[in-house]
Amino acid sequence: MKSKTVIDQLVVVVVSSDQVGSLAQQLIKEGFYFTRVNSHWGILPVDMVSLLIGINASRHQELTDLISKCCQTRLKYIPTQIDIPMFQGQPMMIEAEVGGAVIYTFEVERFEQL
C-alpha cells in the first residue's frame, strides 16, 4: 500500500497564459499536481491563469525555484484600452512588464482526497 504525502500547504500561483504551458510541463515532470483556473483581470489585456497546488511544506522551496526558472518577467509593447479621439484607428501602445508569477501560500488545516 502506497503511503500518502501529507498536504499541509495550498500554493496559488498566478501566471500569464503565455508562460503557463512550460510551467505546467515542468510541474508534472517534478511530480507536482495542480488544478488550472483561467481568468482575466487587471487593466492590461493579458489572460492570466491560476494554478492551485497542494504540497507538503518540505517541497515549498523546490516549487518556488521551479516557478522562478519558468516564469521570467520581460518588457513588451501592448495596446492600451483607452479611447483617444486623435488616435482613432491606431491603438496607443505602452511598454509594460509582463510575465513572472505571483505566489500565495496558505496553511492547510485539513486535507481529504476522496
Condensed to tens digits (0 to 9), the pLDDT of residues 15-60 reads 988 899 999 999 999 999 999 998 766 555 668 899 999 999 999 9
Q: Which domains does the chain have, with CATH numbers?
A: 9-107 (3.30.70.120)
* Band of residue 113 on the pLDDT scale cut at 50, 70, 90: confident
- The angle at the Cα of 107, spanning 28 to 6, to the nearest 5 degrees, equals 55
Q: Give the cell for residue 34.
A: 495542480
Q: Which pTM was predicted?
A: 0.77
Tell me which H or E stretch contains 22. helix 20-29
